[in-house]
Amino acid sequence: MEKLTRELNELSILNAELDSLATFLTEKPALMNKKALQIFILDLRDYVAEVGRISEIVSSPTIEQHEPREINHLLTKQNELMKVIRRDFLRVNAGKKTDEKIFGLGEKQIEELTKQLDALHVLNQFLLQDNLSFQAMIESISLTSNIRVGKKQSFMQRLFKKKG
């Protein structure tokens, strides 16, 4: 049960990062003006909302994430984690007493939750595929230079920077 709680907490953290990133991307007019990019971002937001329904079993932190290149990493980790959580829910559900509840959920609710995890796993795989096109489009419109997170160099640092 502790393992399942840790996994749900990790899923919640990853989802909070994706939520922050999706919100950040939504606020970029250069992205939202391109139909294909807009569709991906809105799909990502819908996915995050659905994962949030599952991870609401545990409290979710507030996290800021502003690096679009992290989408693949976050989705991949969520993909693996959802498989493990689904397996653990099924194992715990099979080993519990008839009227015992897990996280306040009965047997039917856990079965519904595992079906939702299956559906989210499929959505996750589609988003991972679409992310490849999304990243290529971002690179092609040179948006990543506007989304940098690092510290900006001063004029003098850029002027005297070694070239080579």
- Over its length of 164 residues, how does the chain's per-residue pLDDT go in tens digits? 788 888 888 999 899 999 988 998 898 888 888 899 999 999 999 999 999 888 888 776 777 767 777 889 999 999 999 999 899 888 887 776 666 677 777 778 888 888 999 999 999 999 999 999 998 888 877 544 455 444 556 666 666 765 54
Is residue 101 in a domain?
A: yes
Tokens encoding 16 = 């909070």
Tokens encoding 44 = 């990502």
Q: How many domains does the chain have?
A: 1
Alpha helices in 27-106 (DSSP H): 29-32, 35-55, 71-95
Is residue 104 in a domain?
A: yes
Is residue 40 in a domain?
A: yes
Is residue 161 in a domain?
A: no
Is residue 156 in a domain?
A: no
Is residue 160 in a domain?
A: no
Domain extent at residue 15? 2-145
